[in-house]
Structure 1
Amino acid sequence: MWNRSFAPTQKGVGRRGIMQTAALGASLAALGGIRRAAAEEASHPRFRFVFVNHVTTNPFFTATQYGIRDAAALVGADTQWTGSQNSIAAEMIGAINAAIAAKASAIAVSLVDPHAFNDPVERALAAGIPVFAYNADVPPGSGNKRLAYIGQDLFKAGQLMGQRILELVPGGRVALMIATPGQLNIQPRIDGARDVLDKSGRSYQIDIVATGATVNEELSKVKAYYLGHQDVKGLFSVDGGTTQSVAETMEQYGLAAKGVHGGGFDLLPRTLSLIQGGHLDFTIDQQPYLQGYYTVMEMHNYLMSGGLVGPADINTGLKFVTRANVAPYLATKSRFEGSSSEAQFIPRSGPIQS
């Protein structure tokens, strides 16, 4: 409610008071219009958006879920987070089927397999339920009819990592490490990195190393690889768990001091700490919050407009996090990076860097 102490009295109001009164009246009229618009907006059905994920309990997607909740709160929608804990396509398909049966307003799916989701996506579309891909997408020509993809351009991200490797390692043995080869949320990155290295004209010996789906397995595989290949010049990963394992291996064996370089993806706290400590050269922030937030907004606008607005692919981009700019990530706990559940305004200081 408006605080009555701000309302001017009529006695001796003068020209300034009249202007203040007029301004207040205009503001109240505008506010009434906003409230009427909000009431009209609220008259649409309460949408229910279902997100089908491949690793529902992975901490990477904490920020994604906060993005989903924040956007849903803005548009007045309900959401469901479901899928598989271990990237099992059959479980994800079961979740899509359940969403179709429950008449979800829209479905978002991490398309981690090039063909497994083609049929359930078509069945959802036939039932009048729009389907969007987020975080992982199928390659062109796969036959999947999802409406749009919201997430990082994974192959391009891998290419940019490859460019950074060129800057750090002039040649020699380089390990490109991946938790689960073939999965579409990470395989395009390793393909992009290798594309750059192969086309560089330099003398690289590239080892592709599969590390596994759990952190303990990843760490043991990274350590075992290093101990068996101590001539390696660079250890680079395309997934968050393996990136942390690379950083911990670099720290344990003092590899940075030996001239070995390392880097990878995602913002696990241990990874960030080891970058600050000088043990890892970089990690890549793929903006997981936006992958949830933008997807909800696309779903809402598509439904509200009867399909006239969108759908459109959205590249959520990337940011290289290095020792030079890691401090704010460690100093600030925020839901935007998944390190806090608190909704807060985070003022920034200093010049804006691209």
Structure 2
Amino acid sequence: MSEEQDRPAVSSTDTSSPSTAALRRRGLLTGATAGAAATMLAGLATQARAAETAFPDHPRWKFVFINHVTTNPFFVPTQYGIADACKLLGCSYQWTGSETSDAGQMVNAFNAAIASKADAIATCLVDPKAFNDPTERALAAGIPVFAYNADAPPGSDNKRLAYIGQDLYKAGYALGEKIASLVDGGKVALFIATPGQLNIQPRFDGAKDAISKSGKSITVDEIATGPTLNEEIGKVQAYYLGHQDVKGLFAVDGGSTQGVAMAIKLYNLAKKGVHGGGFDLLPKTLELINEGFGDFTIDQQPYLQGFYTVLEAFLFKASGGLVGPADINTGLKFVTKESVGPYLATKTRYEGNSGAPQIVPSHGPIG
């Protein structure tokens, strides 16, 4: 799937200055005087634009974003973040990759971006080796490469310039600590859409490590759910029906987390003492947590994963490579029944549940 977004260039019109025609109507400009005045006004307008614009005129750089699940609802706010940053900076972008976490399809999209002379490439490094060669070829061609949402493992040979996204292992470790605080012992399920892929496997590893270090007698079943939402929901429900002695249902990706919350509601598991939680802010997940079906979900701010990546690519291009790049951790925040209210009360591009640009009023004290 490929979607190219062409955004209008940043406006350079100085709407605060009266037009030449308006002045002529007032009798202030005639003949050669009008021409001279028009030239003067044009010069003033140029100076005003220079004073009001952070950056001088630049090419309409095109940034190619390569994704592993292009139609997954998790990445709706990411695409809004990309679009907003491109509009702000006068750039454009292309959204492409794979719908089913197929690394081969992603590499094909990467190669196409190199061939088309993209001004920068951003990709989810979901495979530890598949992207090493295209990354090096892009850099050799003068195309900066950034990772977002998923990064190569420590010690990897991948030469990407920076990673913008959550610290995945630490986020998983925090998930494991939460699980150990909710479950005293017994079996828990830990659902993962695509085992081995670097956008979620580090979370799974971190969760297992934290559970192990807790000292509690908790056993973990690893359940693969698949790359699409309907698959994930079905796999979670099927697992529970075959393992009704389970003490908790947890997940390391957004689709599986929605599946967990839906299963807790469908089988009335909260009243049976079964705990559940996971990652991401899919609207259905938030609604169910608010209704008491699930203990928490973890926010990794997908909007920022798009917005910040565009900023880094733009500044790299604008500075000739002198500014940045730098790794950016987009954070970790537990959202519970007590804190989910503001997420449900507002519909924004930042969370991906509305396309309308807006400034959102503060919801009260910060922290």
State the TM-score, normalized to the length of structure 1.
Answer: 0.89
1:320 to 331, 334, 341: 334
1:206 to 195, 220, 237: 220
Question: What amino acid maps onto 1:85 in structure 2?
Answer: E
Question: What amino acid maps onto 1:334 in structure 2?
Answer: T
Aligned partner of 1:231 in structure 2 is 245
- Change over 3 Å in CA distance of 1:41–1:219 after alignment to 2: closer
Q: Which moved more, 1:274-283 or 1:225-234?
A: 225-234
The superposition leaves residues 94-149 of structure 1 with CA deviations (integer Å, 9 ceiling, x where unpaired) of: 11111111111110011110000000000000000000000111101221000000
Q: CA deviation at 1:45?
A: 2.0
C-alpha distance in 1 between matches for 2:285 and 2:363:
24
Alignment of 1:1-354 (within 5 A): 1-2=15-16, 35-37=49-51, 41-353=55-367
- Change over 3 Å in CA distance of 1:259–1:34 after alignment to 2: farther
CA contact (8 A) 2:50 2:56 kept: no
C-alpha distance in 2 between matches for 1:48 and 1:140:
29
CA contact (8 A) 2:72 2:229 kept: no
C-alpha distance in 2 between matches for 1:310 and 1:57:
30
Unaligned runs of 5+ in 1: 5-29
C-alpha distance in 2 between matches for 1:2 and 1:182:
56
C-alpha distance in 2 between matches for 1:240 and 1:110:
16
C-alpha distance in 2 between matches for 1:41 and 1:112:
34
Q: CA deviation at 1:217?
A: 2.2
**SS of structure 2 residue aligned to 1:41:** coil
The superposition leaves residues 51-90 of structure 1 with CA deviations (integer Å, 9 ceiling, x where unpaired) of: 1111111111110011001111111111111111111112
Q: CA deviation at 1:32?
A: 7.3
**SS of structure 1 residue aligned to 2:257:** helix
The superposition leaves residues 219-275 of structure 1 with CA deviations (integer Å, 9 ceiling, x where unpaired) of: 222122212222211110011111111111111111111111000111111111110
Unaligned runs of 5+ in 2: 1-14, 19-43
C-alpha distance in 1 between matches for 2:51 and 2:111:
36
The superposition leaves residues 170-216 of structure 1 with CA deviations (integer Å, 9 ceiling, x where unpaired) of: 22111111111111111111111001001111111111111122223
Report how many residues are paired.
Answer: 329
